[in-house]
Amino acid sequence: MQSTVRKRLLYAAYDARQAKNRAADAVRTHSRRVALAFASIWALTAALTAGPARGDDYPSRPIRLIVPYAAGGAADAVARIIAKHVGESFGQPIVIENRGGAGAIIDTDLVNKSDPDGYTLLLGQSGPISINPAVYKKLPYDPLKDFAPVTLTTSFPYIMVVNPKLGVKTLQEFVALAKSKPGALNYGTAGIGGANHLLTELFDSKAGITMTHIPYRGTALAVADLLAGQVQVVFADPVSALPHINAGTLLALAVTSKARSPVAPDVPTISESGFPGFDAIGWHGILAPAHTPAAIVDKLNTEIVKALKDPETRNLLEKPAIQVVGNSPDAFASFIRQDIALWKQVADQAKVEAR
């Protein structure tokens, strides 16, 4: 009997200890849940109240700068000069990747689809950013929604050049000749839907003239045929035109920018030659993928603009006959919107469509 009572007491004591342990476990579990809940609330509050990322540790590895053109051209030169100076300032190399072809569409889209972390950038140009949306019905990227503008780095006017044998010396004389022979004058371009194609169409509409388009596979080929007398006029970039102008084998009638260009200060503008308000230029600029943190965009802008102000960098950039700019991300974004609107209007009016 005593043995049975003793067993019952032992079992009761064991059950009491187990109940006490279960109660303690429940308290600990509840405490952990409360702690986790407070930690989650704290993290959410911190995320909501924190300011924008400062980008203090950017860049911590090399940066890719995609140039959607072959090496050796003006875009490549701009990219390499800027990359060297900014890379030295950052203490991280900026690696240039030349990926020419396909109207720069594929490689512009490559940057669009890259992580928005500041480690993949685009050397943008008027062609893929401003003109392609005007002449292609469908693009894999939206230049206004898919990129974060950093800064407009450089710009250049196009120069309207003719063969001296044409017998005109001024823009007004050229227009008079074109009006006297509608469709008889040929103009050469780098191809259908390219910058100098739309530029000539814009001029034709302003001047009220009609010319015949002869597309080539590049401005250099168009200029070669201009020298040979196969075409009568080309709107050429300064790199292509100035050597021939300086040699006297081509005659510059006007530049397309609003103000006279420092690369050809003696050449009048189209605007001052009888067509007020004419202003169309080519350009280069740095863009990042959309949603790149503002702190990183601002840091890139600061360093690139500082590089553009450096006398050595400026001298190197101006040698290829381009003009140094350097502006804020907001100013660059506004410039792109205006440039897109200009070329869309021209393409729609001239019914230009690239295939």
Alpha carbons 182 and 204: distance in angstroms, whole number: 11
Residue 13 has pLDDT above 50, yes or no: no
- Please report which confidence band the pLDDT of residue 193 belongs to, taking 50, 70 and 90 as the band edges: confident
pLDDT confidence of residue 39: 38
pLDDT confidence of residue 72: 74
What's the length of the chain? 355
**pLDDT single digits (tens) 269-283:** 999 999 999 999 999
User: What values do phi and psi take at 25, rounded to 5?
Assistant: -60, -40
pLDDT confidence of residue 307: 96
**pLDDT single digits (tens) 17-62:** 555 555 445 545 444 443 444 334 333 333 333 444 455 799 999 9
Q: At what angle do helices 311-318 and 74-90 cross, to 10 degrees?
A: 170
CA distances from 165 to 191, 222, 240, 254, 270 (A): 25, 17, 19, 17, 21
Alpha carbons 202 and 129: distance in angstroms, whole number: 18
Residue 175 has pLDDT above 90, yes or no: yes
pLDDT confidence of residue 183: 94
Class of domain 159-273: alpha beta
**pLDDT single digits (tens) 234-254:** 999 888 899 999 999 999 999
pLDDT confidence of residue 55: 58
Task: Give the residue extent of every domain in the chain.
Answer: 63-155+281-350, 159-273
63-155+281-350 and 159-273, same CATH topology? yes
Half-sphere exposure of 231 (CA within 13 A, CB side): 26
| Three-class DSSP labels, 270-309 | CHHHCCCCCCCEEEEEEEEECCCCHHHHHHHHHHHHHHHH
CATH superfamily of 63-155+281-350: Bordetella uptake gene, domain 1 (3.40.190.150)
CA distances from 189 to 164, 198, 200, 237 (A): 19, 9, 9, 11
**pLDDT single digits (tens) 149-167:** 999 999 999 999 999 999 9
Q: What percentage of the chain has pLDDT greater than the value 70?
A: 83
